[in-house]
Amino acid sequence: MHSEQQLADWREKAFRFESEIEKAIVGQPRAIRLMTIAVFSRGHVLLEGNVGVGKTTLLRAVSRAVGGEYERIEGTIDLMPADLIYYTYLDENGRPRVDPGPVLKHGERLSTFFFNEINRARPQVHSLLLRIMAERSVTAFNRESRFPYLQVFADRNRVEKEETFELPAAARDRFLLEIAMDYPSDDDILDQLTFDPRFHDVDTLLGAVGEAVLPFRELDAIAAAIQTSIEASPTLRAYTRNLWRASHEPERFGISVADADMSELIQAGASPRGMSYLIRAARVHAWLKGRNRVIPEDVQGVFYPAMAHRVFLKPAYEYRRDELVPGLVDKILHSIAAP
């Protein structure tokens, strides 16, 4: 059992974690805060954004500050599930050899698995990743390997569509948050990124980020303590239920979006798992604000990154997803009266 003082001490560690990330990433305070929420919720993260906004740099900085062993794999169209588990080669004597691949070779010490350009990998690879994310285990060489501290970070860019595969709904539902990264709009930030030599060498930039700021083996325990320590009132629970119902039947709450038949728009709303993820993230949001209970502001602060990728449109509207879903989620949030 963690005391209030221990929770406060961990909050200071969380803030130090953010300050270390900010040594490498500028102009993305919301993305950094959401990454912190994901780390202390013990949830997997999908980053999405245009090319060159710093997705990979952010994930590398987070991996460095979390500590533990780290592995990275590039999504490619010819990547196969076995490539995550083992690789084969001829040794110096010309004999075939099989060695553990990127997922297996670190064993239980693996804390961060970074899947770069995940939408370039085939659905078969997504299926294996789904098990690793859901069960933190994989079976290979006639035995099960477990990764108790594993957190998966993946990214995809929203520009390239050629030779890419959309993540299946089941896989997207496994991600606690889907965090969007946009170009910074502040002139000072743009000036820094363009003219400051510090941002021209990513490896040197990441070298400034403190290593293992968080003791990764203790994160599961503190995450559980946060969830049991932060309360949710009955009115907050009713508010959350209405948000969930609106994600399934927005027309029932008087919600509409332009040029869409609301009775034919939604294929599926958020799953119960998605709602539990929403509240997990909201509790961490409240904890970071120094509160011992969840208020509507906490739910609203994580609503979009926790919910938008869990609203699925019918095929007739799916091609307009990028146009419709942001407006729909925003209207859900603003149409349901907060207690």
Question: What φ, ψ does residue 102 adopt, rounded to 5°?
Answer: -60, -30
With H, G, I as helix, E, B as strand and everything else as coil, classify residue 197: helix
Whether residues 142 and 248 fall in one domain: no
The CATH code of the domain that includes 152 is 3.40.50.300
Burial class (CB in 10 A: 0-12, 13-18, 19+), 122: middle
Last residue in a domain, options 168, 190, 206: 206
pLDDT at 163: 67
Q: Domain range holding 78? A: 28-206
Please report, for residues 104, 140, 264, the alpha-carbon distance to residue 315 in angstroms, rounded to integers and kept in the order given.
38, 37, 10
* One domain for residues 312 and 182: no
**Burial letters for 264-301: b for 16+ Cβ neighbours within 10 Å, e otherwise?**
ebbeebbbeebbebbbbbbbbbbbbeeeeebbbebbbb
Quick: pLDDT tens for 174-222.
899 999 888 888 898 888 888 988 888 888 999 999 999 999 999 999 9
Q: 83 and 187: one domain?
A: yes
In a domain, 42, yes or no: yes
Q: What is the pTM of this model?
A: 0.92
Same domain flag for 168 and 265: no
Q: How distant, in Å, are the alpha carbons of 71, 97, 106, 134 from that of 138?
A: 16, 21, 13, 10
- Cβ count near 19 (within 10 Å): 14
Are 281 and 153 part of one and the same domain? no
Q: Answer yes or no: is 6 within a domain.
A: no
Number of domains in the chain: 2
42 and 145 within one domain: yes
Is position 16 within any domain?
no
The pLDDT value recorded for residue 158 is 67
Identify whether 211 is part of a domain. Answer: no
The one-digit pLDDT tens for each residue of the chain (339 residues) are 678 889 999 999 999 999 999 999 988 999 999 999 999 999 999 998 888 888 889 989 999 999 889 899 988 888 898 888 888 888 888 888 888 888 888 888 999 999 988 888 888 888 888 888 889 998 888 888 899 999 999 988 766 666 677 777 777 888 999 998 888 888 988 888 889 888 888 889 999 999 999 999 999 999 999 999 999 999 999 999 999 999 999 999 999 888 888 888 999 889 999 999 999 999 999 999 999 999 999 999 999 999 999 999 998 888 888 889 999 999 999 999 998
Residue 41 located in a structural domain? yes
